[in-house]
Amino acid sequence: MNDHEVNIGILGLGTVGTGVAKILLTQQELLKTRSSLTFKLKSIAEVNWNVERDLNLDGIQCLTDADQILTDPEIDIVVETIGGYEPAFSFICRALRNRKHVVTANKALIATRGRELFKIAKENGVDLLFEASVGGGIPIIKGLREGLIANKFESIYGILNGTSNYILTRMHEEGLEFEEALKQAQAKGFAEADPTLDIGGGDAAHKLTILASLATSGMVDFDSLYVEGITSITKLDINFAKSFGYTIKLLAIFRSLANGLDLRVHPTLIPNTHLLAAVNNELNAVFVKGDFVGNTMFYGPGAGERPTGSAIVSDIVDLSRDLLLKEGEQYCNRPIDPERGVEIVPLSEIKNRFYLRFFTLDKPGVLSKIAGVFGEKGISISSMVQLETHEKDNYVPIVLLTHESSEQGMAEALREIEKFEFVKENYLRLRLF
């Protein structure tokens, strides 16, 4: 970095890369006023330059070979916006080994390969920043890393996937079945042609892994999280939840317990009185409780060209300020220690309240037998609803809400209930907030 000028190279000019480029090109004077630095977009590497983009790239090196950026001695910061695992992982590794600082929005890489990447960054005295990897334009990573740095984090609850949230909102507000709401999300561009990562909970789990790692200053093992998606939720379940005063959301959960962390992603019934229940459509929100600050909430757009681009540029500016202050010294602003392990509490040891929906034959003794199994396992029922049947097969929906019980006890009870001939296989178990 010379004369307070920061040279930047972007890998990938898709939606996010375009957003970053637009900000660097159009907000240069604003950024200089606020940071006392000049940010120069020197080079962009992209394999497909035939796509129409609303960008004036005069004076910028438009490349097809990423190596020209990764090996350019004038490039101070490499911005990776390719996404996915490869070649993004290899490019980031080479940039770090070439002692270039890296900014990325790649949540999948940070969550699953973060330990390797942070080690490489540490070995080479450079930084890897990732504000845009969680929550798009919401400054949640900066909030945990800086604004709430004086706090131990007791809990973090997040609606972290806009696609799933949009689908559940449409089911709640329009009475749509899951498949109908999914088609609507795809038509509006909120869901991919293959939405598995979103509706299956994987995307939210990637983000929770990052938040949990930040909250503990360690590195959480992504594979240790319990992950459940929203594909089994029906209009019937949405309506039952309404009747009990709840809204169903795909919730990412972090809780600090005496014996480790409770980390999971699954559909959750949230009381309508809680702020998270009012987070609708494609928006994201994160509810954080610190031991000194108490409850805080971060809310806003979780994806898109402009919000995600904004978050990436925020990292660029922060990193550049650090470089200016520490010029000539080895400096790294690492919020996560890749060598520090994190203890995860097994799901079987966690206690929850539960929502249970069964389809059973409409005949005497059904409820008493189900209730008997729960009683044997020490599970107490708090509410119960049974509807009349008008169907030819004579099956009726029964919905139960329980008091708090262990996950292990509930799993054992459900295995016993599954054996009853009068119970259909497609029952549903959800947790309550």
Domain with residue 314: its CATH number is: 3.40.50.720
In a domain, 331, yes or no: no
Is residue 295 located within the same domain as residue 172? yes
Determine the structural domain holding residue 412 and report its residue range: 347-432
In a domain, 340, yes or no: no
- Pairing outcome for strands 38-45 and 5-11: parallel
Is residue 147 located within the same domain as residue 254? yes
The residue out of 325, 358, 386 marking a domain boundary is 325
d(CA 432, CA 409): 16
In a domain, 171, yes or no: yes
Below-50 pLDDT ranges, the chain: 328-331
Is residue 153 located within the same domain as residue 254? yes
Is residue 144 located within the same domain as residue 283? yes
Burial (CB count <10 Å: 0-12, 13-18, 19+), residue 102: buried
**Per-residue model confidence (pLDDT) at position 129:** 93
Is residue 120 located within the same domain as residue 47? yes
For 364-381, how does the pLDDT look when each residue is reduced to its tens digit (9 = 90+)? Answer: 888 899 999 999 999 999
In a domain, 335, yes or no: no
In a domain, 339, yes or no: no
In a domain, 330, yes or no: no
Is residue 274 located within the same domain as residue 317? no
**Per-residue model confidence (pLDDT) at position 394:** 79
Is residue 292 located within the same domain as residue 366? no
Does residue 207 have an active-site annotation? yes
Which CATH number goes with the domain that contains 359? 3.30.70.260
Is residue 188 located within the same domain as residue 279? yes
Residues 195, 204 contacting (CB under 8 angstroms): no
42, 207, 249, 289: which one is catalytic? 207
Is residue 184 located within the same domain as residue 44? no
Is residue 83 located within the same domain as residue 161? no
What's the pTM value of the predicted model, to 2 decimals?
Answer: 0.92
Which CATH number goes with the domain that contains 248? 3.30.360.10
Is residue 23 located within the same domain as residue 132? yes
In a domain, 189, yes or no: yes
Name the domain count of the chain. 3
The residue out of 242, 266, 301 marking a domain boundary is 301
> Residue 9: which of 276, 281, 316 has the closest Cα?
316
In a domain, 373, yes or no: yes
Is residue 126 located within the same domain as residue 76? yes
- SS3 string, the chain, reads CECCEEEEEEECCCHHHHHHHHHHHHCHHHHHHHHCCEEEEEEEECCCCCCCCCCCCCCCEEECCCHHHHCCCCCCEEEECCCCCCCHHHHHHHHHHCCCEEEECCHHHHHHHHHHHHHHHHHCCCCEECHHHCCCCCCHHHHHHHHCCCCCEEEEEEECCHHHHHHHHHHHHHCCCHHHHHHHHHHCCCCCCCCHHHHCCHHHHHHHHHHHHHHHCCCCCHHHCEECCCCCCCHHHHHHHHHCCEEEEEEEEEEEECCEEEEEEEEEEEECCCHHHHCCCCEEEEEEEECCCEEEEEEEECCCHHHHHHHHHHHHHHHHHHHHHCCCCCCCCCCCCCCCCCCECCHHHCEEEEEEEEEEECCCCHHHHHHHHHHHCCCCEEEEEECCCCCCCCEEEEEEEECCEEHHHHHHHHHHHHCCCCECCCCEEEEEC
